[in-house]
Structure 1
Amino acid sequence: MAVVDIKGFLLRFFAAVGLILPFLMGLLLWRVANSDLWPQQSAQELPDQIVLELDLTHPLVEQSSGFELSLPALMEEGASQPFFPIAIALKRAKEDPRVKSVVAHLGPHTPSLVHVQELAAALQDFRKSGKPSYIFSASYGAFGPGGVSYYLASQFEHIWLQPVGSVALTGMGIEAPFAKTALKEWGVKTDFLRREEYKSVMENVSRDAFSPPVKKNMQSMMQSLASQMAKGIAKGRKIELKKAQQFMAEGPYTANEALKKGLVTQIGYEDEMMEKIKEEAGKEGKRVEAETYLYLSGEEKDEETKADVALIYAEGMIAETPAKGPYRVAQDSVIDAASVINAFKVAIKDEDIKAILFRVNSPGGSPVASESMRRALLMAKEAAKPVFVSMGRVAASGGYWIAMDAHHIVADPATITGSIGVVAGKIVLGGLYDKLGIKWDSFVTDENAQMSSTRQVFSPRARERMNAMIDETYRIFTDNVAAARKIPKEKIADVAKGRVFTGEQALKVGLVDELGGMETTVAAIKKELKLEPNDKIALVPLPPPETPRAMMMQLVQEFMSGSVMIKDIFSQLLQVKSVLGVFLDASESTNGPSVRLPFRTSY
């Protein structure tokens, strides 16, 4: 057994990286020990009388991130809640005679409109069973915007509100800061080129207000979103659309005003609501959280599935190369293009995989990485593995690029998509350097070596080269959209030039095939595979979620690729990996069924 020189290790450790790295390592281990991303549920059977409990006090997200090794994730208080397992649980609960009611607890986090729309569809379907549904919140928005939170609440039969709370239901709007004048005071300029006039990226630093085309585009988009919210509230509360629009125009409301107008059904406290639900459920009634119910109900049924469908996520900014080693700790929400491509390759080779559900939630990024992922999708189609895209909150620019060639594209009405355009350029800091007294010196073999220099705007020659590259990227983008979506080239400008659409608008112009969420996409897959609506398919996450041990060991190996001193430090860490391994093994214990999500599940 190797003897670890702890004293020498600590001296080298603190000499190399001071207090930052040990703080991060300690924080990392604390998160592993205390994280509820790996909740363990001892083996048990579901009770005969169930009150299905939905914990909506945490932010709703696309997917469980497993053990996310980024500084924002490590510092984040509390957990996040994937929305899709909740929707699946509601679908099962509708037909399960043991489930007597549903109760939700809504926190202060404002959910995205897309997630609300998908859960609203699941709740509307559940309510067809005649089973009661309850929701409680101390306030639906308080003194901030609460329209989206109330939209979600409106889908429940019984809406409880704390006496001092409010319903902050209002219209919708956009406001954004513009820094051109402020940057000018510091000697900072911008030099960005875009295709075309609706491409709004970087306007916040290159202008002092929205450009007229962008403002017109944004106003159209906001009208669509506001209309969707009004329609959703009207459907949930079973009122006329005009009434819902009036509520939005005249809010916000105090608790008593909301009760009088029928926006809430009861003013009271959470414990009072739970006592009422307990009385209705009887002595045998037991509260079961959605994730536990979803896992245990799937285990006991052991349902036969007709086909395996790969579930691949692309979430975040698109980059050619994700951060490695020490930089990985500071990274958050960036798509690892190589991982997505490999997931497609695995799905192609797996004979049991009959189709691919590709969930895209990305505002775009690198065209090169986007094209690489698009190629992986095309290869799946060539291998007779149909790809169905479900768009999340946003699938725009590069996010649309990686989705456009799918067999079938489904977008939520509130999905932000399109933005078929290109922008490139730089922020010029030469004036700031002069103000700070910073002097630069340089030498080059050719003038074009300074194209990327932040000290000066593009030279005429550099600008000509930048325009050529941007024009070529834009041409490829629009040509591919025209071919994939069967839009005549002479009409492609009507949907391109950087225009942004809601999913509702995108359907009308042919950028998507259908409105709906994950459930709608699953139904389309079943139809393609010639399955009956009630036939079950298995959703298989690719790549499989990483465990804490794998993440930690990968980080250690990546750190070792750095400097000699860092390599020496982490060589010492590897010597104590047996102790660390025991610790991480405990966090991955599988005594009894795990309710970690995402997991392979039938739908």
Structure 2
Amino acid sequence: MKRLWRALTTLLRGIGSALRWLRRLALTAITLVVVLALFGQLNRPAPSLPDSAVLALAPSGQLVDQLSYIDPFGELLNPTAAPAETLLPELIAVIDHAANNPAITAVVLDTQQLQSADMAKILELGDALLRFRASGKPIVATADSYDSYQYLLASHADRIFMHHFGAVEISSMQAQRSYFADLLERLQIDFHLFRAGEFKDAVEPLTRSGMSASSRQQLQRLVDQRWQLYSDRISTNRNLPRGAVDDLVANYADKLRASGGDFARLAEQSGLVDSLSDRSQRRTLIADWLRAQSAGASPRGEPEQVDSASYAAWLRRNDQQRSAPATVIVYTAAGEILDGQQSAGQIGGDSSAEQLQELVKQQLRAEQPTALVVRIDSPGGSAFASEVVREQLQFARDHGMAVVVSMGSTAASGGYWIATGADYLVAQPATLTGSIGVFGLVPTINRGLESLGVNFEQVSSSPAAAAYHPQQPLSEAAAAIFQSSVDGLYQRFLQHVSDARQLSLSQTEQLAGGQVWSGGDALELGLVDRLGGLDQAIDAAAEIAGFSDYQVTHYQPQLTPWEQFVTTLNQQLSAFTARSELAALLSPLLDGAALPGTAQSLGQLRDSFNDPQARYLLCTLCP
């Protein structure tokens, strides 16, 4: 027994020694990596461009106006947790600069990794590609296959290459909704809806079993308009006869059968692509075609390429060295509008208002002529937060700044409420805007709890008071208070729009009611001043402010010293972690702290409705 005990003790000591050794080794390795990363940061070479190159564009993930905030330390340990996003304004700036840069001879556009993008963003990026083509330089698009939006972007190229096993998936525009009223009735959960505006159907899925007539009418109008924009742009870009895209979609099955079930051949026969090949042949074909466009001036073989991220870094360094007597600042407000402090990717009533106010005060202290462009890409959200942010646009105007709003994919409901604080509004044809309406949503769960044997009682100093509690039925007095609050806010919304757009209240009421408008409709109705993208909004701000020589800067929220350090460290370690699989080794340490997927989704849903007065300016038709 003593021998067994001694053996066990020896084994445990050996394990302890091994663990201490491994811990020291791990700490030494981490220290070495940190030192090397800091050394690399201090000795980072200045970005540069080759004398002659092709600009390689490969947007990945989702096209966004503002990158979502990701905790840099968490991203370092678990890179897969960060959403794949491509910053649209940066990509457009790169394309526009490259159009006039003699070192860039062409663009190669790879859409394979583009996962999702709204039509407005695709068209805005496409307009930049058309400006590049107008400079006399060619663009080629390449991918194994194209979905609807990947192809819409690729159609802006001079020549489109695809794998011979690929396909172009073009389908009609659709809008779907699921309705949960029957499920909620089975669970005996009641949602009490208070709204102002016949078309304000944001919460119909919670209160109805199917689509209302007004909602169906509105959705059909928007779907038809977006399909027209889509098919017209493709037909124009590809020089197809009018109606050719509609004919292809309507008769796709018959046309596919006629092509022998070959998706790639059908795409080529329909004029959607120009060349079919395997991957290795495709690279050679692209290089040969580009050399032919340059009249043989390019050397044989694949041309040297510079990716958009490297070009953007070079461009930022050059911009830092430039100064001008005036500045146009671009502030991005993207995401749902929530009360309180929020990170990038959402609009926080407190955080966005504080940033805008500090931005204005800094420019006033610097005594430099400044104009402000606010890029809004939001379906709305909290009414209180929307007003707090709108007040800061008015604050900037009160201090002599020209304020212009550039609408992204969406600037509806609360997004449009914010926009009423500006001097001038610029929307894109595919922007969804308007949705001038208000709703309040109040749940009660007393029936469900009573069915489970849970009863609720309370005493009050004023029994007749219209108190609300989710565990008791909603009284008529409380319901009247909620509806009056919503009606009052709606009247304020109408007044804001009337004052900002110089419309009578009766004219504003005809455009309101929760109706969602495309950018083209909004221009005709007087809800915006012109059509265009961010560049046109910047030009408008400079013109209103009277600037002839100015620089453009994009506002970036200040990071804490810790965030700055870890972000820098993360950039330096990204290649190392990919090679050493450090992230894969460390990510299990984070799993215990992660919420299960369902609970996390429920938490996000709960956080979306955080207005202190339960009143919302939200468009759920809008992406």
Task: State the TM-score bracket (shorter-chain normalisation).
Answer: 0.7 to 0.9
Query: Residues 586 and 174 (structure 1 numbering): CA distance in 2 closer, same or farther, change over 3 Å?
Result: closer
C-alpha separation in 1, matches of 2:169 and 2:571: 42
Q: Which residue of 2 aligns with 1:260?
A: 269
What secondary structure, in the 3-state scheme, does the structure 1 residue paired with 2:173 have?
Answer: coil
The answer to whether the 8 Å contact 2:69/2:344 transfers is no
| 2:299 corresponding residue in structure 1 | 282
Q: Could you tell me which of 80, 88, 99 is aligned with 2:85?
A: 80
C-alpha distance in 2 between matches for 1:265 and 1:522: 37
- Encode CA deviations 1:529-583: one digit per residue, 9 max, x unaligned: 3345xx5522241534x368238xxxxxxxxxxxxxxxxxxxxxxxxxxxxx6x6
Over 3 Å counting, the alpha-carbon distance change for 1:53 and 1:239 in structure 2 is same
Q: Which moved more, 1:214-223 or 1:61-70?
A: 61-70
- What residue in structure 1 maps to residue 562 of structure 2? 549
Counterpart in the other structure of 2:63: 60
- What is the TM-score normalised by the length of structure 2? 0.76
After superposition, the Cα gap between the structure-2 partners of 1:442 and 1:228, relative to the gap in structure 1 and judged at 3 Å, is same
Q: More deviation in 473-482 or 456-465?
A: 456-465
Matched, 1:334 2:339: no
Q: Given the alignment of the two structures, is residue 586 of structure 1 paired with residue 569 of structure 2, yes or no?
A: yes
Q: Which amino acid aligns with 1:133?
A: I
**5+ long unaligned stretches in structure 1:** 1-29, 324-330, 552-580, 591-603
Separation of aligned partners in 1, 2:48 and 2:354: 38
Corresponding residue to 2:46 among 43, 47, 59 = 43
CA offsets per residue over residues 234-263 of structure 1, 9 Å max, x none?
221123432233334444861110001110
**Distance (whole Å) between structure 2 residues aligned to residue 94 and residue 496 of structure 1:** 42
Alignment of 1:295 onto 2:313: yes
Deviation string, structure 1 residues 121-158 (Cα, Å, up to 9, x no partner): 101111112222112222212xxxx2x22211111112
Task: Tell me if the contact between 1:159 and 1:266 (Cα under 8 Å) persists in the aligned partners.
Answer: yes
Shift of 1:368: 1.4
SS of residue matched to 1:453: coil
Q: Any residues of structure 2 matched to 1:542-581 within 5 Å, and which?
A: 542-544=556-558, 546=559, 549-550=562-563
- Equivalent pairs: percent with the same residue? 26
1:52/1:103 contact within 8 Å kept: yes
Number of residue pairs the alignment of both structures matches: 510
Q: Secondary structure in 1 aligned to 2:304?
A: strand
Q: Is the 8 A contact 2:47 2:310 kept in 1?
A: no
1:357 has 2:358 as partner: no
Distance 1:586 1:120 in 2: 35
1:305 aligns with 2:288: no
Query: Any idea what the Cα deviations from partners look like across 1:153-183, whole Å, max 9, x if unmatched?
Result: 1111121222222111121111111111121
Cα distance in structure 1, aligned partners of 2:450 and 2:60? 50
Per-residue CA deviations over 1:324-380 (Å, capped at 9, x if unaligned) read xxxxxxx88431222322232233221225100101111112211111111111111
Distance 2:492 2:202 in 1: 20
Q: 1-side partners of 2:360 and 2:465: how far apart?
A: 42
Aligned to 2:339: 320
1:353 to 1:53, Cα distance in 2 relative to 1, 3 A? farther
CA contact (8 A) 1:339 1:543 kept: no
CA distance in 2, matches of 1:359, 1:584: 25
Check the 8 A contact 2:495/2:505 in 1, yes or no.
yes
CA deviation after TM superposition for structure 1 residue 278, in Å: 4.2
CA pair 584-463 structure 1, distance change in 2 beyond 3 A: closer
Alignment check: 8 A CA contact 1:191 1:457 kept:
no
Displacement of 1:435: 3.3
| Partner of residue 579, structure 2 | none
Amino acid at match of 1:346: E
How far residue 297 of structure 1 moved from its aligned partner, in angstroms, is: 4.0
Q: Deviations over 1:175-224 (max 9, x none)?
A: 11111112111212221111111001110010011211121111111111
Decide whether aligned partners of structure 1 residues 194 and 75 sit closer, same or farther in structure 2, where only a CA change above 3 A counts: farther
Shift of 1:70: 11
Displacement of 1:442 in angstroms is: 3.3
2:63·2:85 contact (CA, 8 Å) conserved in 1?
yes
Distance 1:332 1:92, change over 3 A: closer
Matched with 1:164 is 165
Aligned residue runs from structure 1 range 420-499, under 5 A = 420-447=436-463, 451-499=467-515
Question: Which structure 2 residue ranges, 5 or more long, are not aligned?
Answer: 1-32, 257-262, 292-297, 574-623
The answer to whether the 8 Å contact 1:420/1:496 transfers is yes
Q: Say whether the 8 Å CA contact 1:124–1:236 is kept in structure 2.
A: no
User: Residues 74 and 418 (structure 1 numbering): CA distance in 2 closer, same or farther, change over 3 Å?
Assistant: farther
Q: 1:383 to 1:70 in 2, by over 3 A?
A: farther
CA spacing shift, 1:300–1:377, aligned 2, 3 Å: closer
CA–CA distance in 2 between the matches of 1:227 and 1:521?
25
Is 299-308 or 512-521 further displaced after alignment?
299-308
CA RMSD of aligned residues (A): 3.0
Change in Cα spacing, 1:405 to 1:103, as seen in structure 2 (3 Å) is: same
Q: For residues 241 and 69 of structure 1, do their structure 2 counterparts lie closer, same or farther at Cα, with a shift above 3 Å needed? A: farther
Of 505, 525, 537, the residue aligned with 2:551 is 537
| TM-score w.r.t. length of structure 1 | 0.78
